[in-house]
Structure 1
Amino acid sequence: MTRISAVSLSLLTHPSPVGRDADGMISVGTPGEGHAVVVRIRTDDGAEGCHVEDDVMVVDQLRADPGIVTDVVAPALLGEDPAYRERIWQRLARLQRLHLTRLHDRIIAVVDIALWDLVGRMLNSPVHSLLGTYRDTVPAYASTMMGETAGPLSTPEGFADFAEQCAERGFQAFKLHTWAPLASGDADWRRDALACEEVRERVGGRLRLMLDPWHFYDREDALRLGRVIEDLDFFWYEEPMTEASPDSYVWLCDRLDVPVTGPEIAAGGIRTRADWIVRGACDIARAGVLDIGGITPMVKCAALCEALNVPLTLHLGGVASLHLLAAMPINGWYYERGLLHPDLDLDAVPPWLGRPVEVMSADGLMAIPDGPGLGCDFDSDFLAAHEQILGVTTEPPTRVRT
């Protein structure tokens, strides 16, 4: 029987056209170094699964605390048959009880994704085939960077200009991330409303529109903004209040016709999504591969939503999301491409890839990767030049965990 014999964690550092602004948001106004982490899982017969993740929360956590992978996660995998993905995931979920501040769902997610890549490569099968393929393409929506204090996305007109640019590229839908001044808290729902009105006027019926605004409006301001976009026939309304209060979302859903989607980052995985659905705190469920701990729990989340006849939108792009959307028979509607900005190449390929995995047609359809595992073809020269090993954990391959 094949056994996991090594788990490694590395850091990639490379020049990047984006950085972070004073609020910690991704920004083109602060270019500098970009970072990503690389998780590899190897077996005693030489197979390897790999996932590269550039999510800032994952990168920040693992740069500061690589030991959570090398000292806590890796021992839970070593000696296991990689086909036992559910058993491994449940073990990691239980370990969270002892490592509440370190082993959050996004860390489990990157390990789970690498494990699925490993099994797919071992079986010479794409991950979506392992899940059960439903479709070969999925429409994409353009997901903008947050509103800026200066630059193309600093005005309602700038958002409208970008919406026109995205429509010309072939996107079928457009989501505004309006202004989110986390440091100052100086948010204004009226400015968000003006941006939505300007975008609607420009792109009309060419694009479906969504809004993800400031996340800390009170109930009344969230309702005021919701009524504006309801009149503008927006497709969904996302996270206008803190998700720590599901009751506030029940209140909001009861008063709006525009569909409210959530929760996005609330802890609790599929159990929290089930609770929100049953309580009526969302009209459309929302979850992401990173948000709830990987591909393994996302399969359950999709089944939950199918059973309750509730659509499910996926938070964040990434190759794992493409595979999941390919296997979802319920309304997942769109793949989220972002975060996008007028000054960036909309089709830029991450430097660690030898060929793109995000391939969008002229009419806005994303191709589903068809190579083994996740289907990523890595640039070995780039990795050799930019990869720093943070830790490798091994054990003798003869060890059998009972």
Structure 2
Amino acid sequence: MKITKVETFQVDWSGEGLPGGQDRPAGRKGPRSAFVRIETDDGLFGMGEASPMQGGLASLVIIAQDMAPALIGADPLDHAILLDTLMHKCIKLGPEGAMTGALAALDTALWDLKGKALGQPIYKLLGGAWRKQMPCYASIGGNAWRTVDEVLAVVERRVEKEKPAAVKIRWDGDRTRQDVDIAGDIRKAAAVRKLLGDDFVLGFDANNGYSIGGAMRVGRALEDLGYTWFEEPVQHYHISAMGEVAQRLDITVSAGEQTYTLQGLKDLINAGVRMVQPDITKMGGITGLMQCAAIAHAHGVELVPHQTQPSLGHLANLHVLSTLIHLSKPVELADGWERAGAIFENPSEPKNGLFTVPDAPGLGAVFDQSELQRRSVPISI
């Protein structure tokens, strides 16, 4: 079996009637995901997804220009050697950011291909699933711009619709400013607690919005309100500051969605962070997330991956999480997850608050090929 083609493209999640996004007004682009497809000489293919920041365009260009030529003619079962070679070939582009996202997409595509070649779902190739169903938590963004009543309305709507095991309210504020409205943030957190009751599991994602002092003030309030975790209270690149907040608060402080390497994850843990949240579309794909799981297990910290992509990244995430013996938190279900349903014949969506891991070979994705083609935007270099 040899690789014959590596194709990179975006998937346009805009409204109906937009074939490839081409009839959108000039200069405007809707949300897009970054996909890669690897084909072999025996007719099999594997699909992967890169981090979608700015549509994942940088990662896709790196794949198309710098990585794909080295994969043509290679045996896809030489998976680890191929990706380690590409990482060191392109190391001066990273090792963090777009290059790591590119490797994550290729890694997932190669696992998908391997599962199809062997006729097995990925979780079987990883050693088997401890569980085939996992509860979701509703990750609700945009609350920096909402009033208290607006926050409550969207939380109530999501809980009623999705039946999640937990809710995380996210701020998504202006990252160039800190401590903008601490008192208002605490009021919103208190209102959500009152709405959902004392026993409902709640998380608070500050999206890097506070100084150390601001984070301490909000964190103490969250402790009093019975919140379970406090996500990225300070800027992610201030690892020592993140660790200081984590060590001074009783509430579990989490971080890591903007961490791209195992070394970076290790640094967060050594700083004192007790819950790490790497993203499979950034952190080396399936192979990288399994390595993160081993590091987290060895240090006795929780692994709760960040996952806002409702399609291939989400499926890959489910396969990995199903294999973990100690899964301490539900699986993230972010805003706008319905958008991916159009391209799948078997969209992965929560049923009564539960995700089910697919049993079909590879990732288990079955595509509506005509819809996927309609929404595809090729990458030319």
TM-score normalised over the length of structure 1: 0.83
Equivalent residue number for residue 258 of structure 2: 265
Establish whether residue 50 from structure 1 lines up as the match of residue 47 from structure 2.
Answer: yes
How far has the Cα of 1:49 moved from its partner? 0.8
Tell me the equivalent position of 2:320: 324
Match 2:335 to one of 308, 333, 339: 339
Identity among equivalent positions (%) equals 27
Q: Does 1:120 find its partner at 2:115?
A: yes
Q: Which residue of 1 aligns with 2:81?
A: 87
Q: Which amino acid aligns with 2:105?
A: V
Measured against aligned partners, the alpha-carbon deviations of 1:127-186 in whole angstroms (never above 9, x if no partner) come to 11111222111110000122264xxxx112222233333333311100011250246667
Q: 1:157 to 1:373 in 2, by over 3 A?
A: same
Q: Which amino acid aligns with 2:131?
A: R
Query: Among residues 298, 302, 305, which one is paired with 1:311 in the alignment?
Result: 302
Q: Which residue among 101, 104, 107 is the counterpart of 2:99?
A: 104
SS of match in other structure, 2:267: helix
The alignment yields a C-alpha RMSD, in angstroms, of: 2.4
Contact residue 8 and residue 391 of structure 1 kept, 8 A: no
Cα distance in 2 for residues equivalent to 1:148 and 1:230: 20
Q: State the partner residue of 1:36.
A: 33
For structure 2, list consecutive stretches of 5 or more residues without a partner in the other structure: 17-27, 309-313
| Contact 1:125-1:372 at 8 Å conserved across structures | yes
Q: What residue identity is the alignment partner of 1:323?
A: H
* CA deviation string 1:293-318 (max 9, x = no partner): 21111111101111222111101141
Change (3 A) 1:273 1:45: same
2: CA distance, partners of 1:59 / 1:301: 22
Task: Say if 1:259 and 1:204 are closer, same or farther in 2 by CA, change over 3 A.
Answer: same
Q: Which has the higher helix share?
A: 2
Report the counterpart of residue 195 of structure 1 in structure 2.
188
Greater strand share, structure number: 1
Q: Which whole-Å CA distance do the structure 2 matches of 1:211 and 1:329 have between them?
A: 26
Residue 16 of structure 1 contacts residue 32 of structure 1 at CA under 8 Å; is this kept in 2? no
Q: Indicate how the Cα distance of structure 1 residues 159 and 388 shifts in structure 2: closer, same or farther if over 3 A, else same.
A: closer
Per-residue CA deviations over 1:24-53 (Å, capped at 9, x if unaligned) read xxxxxxx97342333110112221112356
CA 1:13/1:189 → structure 2, altered by over 3 Å: closer, same or farther?
same
For structure 1, which segment, 81-90 or 102-111, has the greater mean C-alpha deviation from structure 2 after superposition? 102-111
Query: 8 Å contact 1:349–1:355 — kept in the other structure?
Result: no
For residues 184 and 234 of structure 1, do their structure 2 counterparts lie closer, same or farther at Cα, with a shift above 3 Å needed?
A: closer
Please list every run of 5 or more consecutive structure 1 residues that lacks an aligned counterpart in the other structure.
18-30, 341-345, 393-402
User: Tell me, what secondary structure is at the counterpart of 1:237?
Assistant: strand
Structure 2 SS opposite 1:290: coil
Q: How far 1:203 sits from its partner (Å)?
A: 0.2
Matched length: 362
Per-residue Cα deviation, 1:233-260 (whole angstroms, up to 9, x for no partner): 1111111111222211222122210001
Q: 1:309-338 CA distances to partner (integer Å, 9 max, x unpaired)?
A: 211110114111111111111234211001
Letter in 2 for 1:46: G
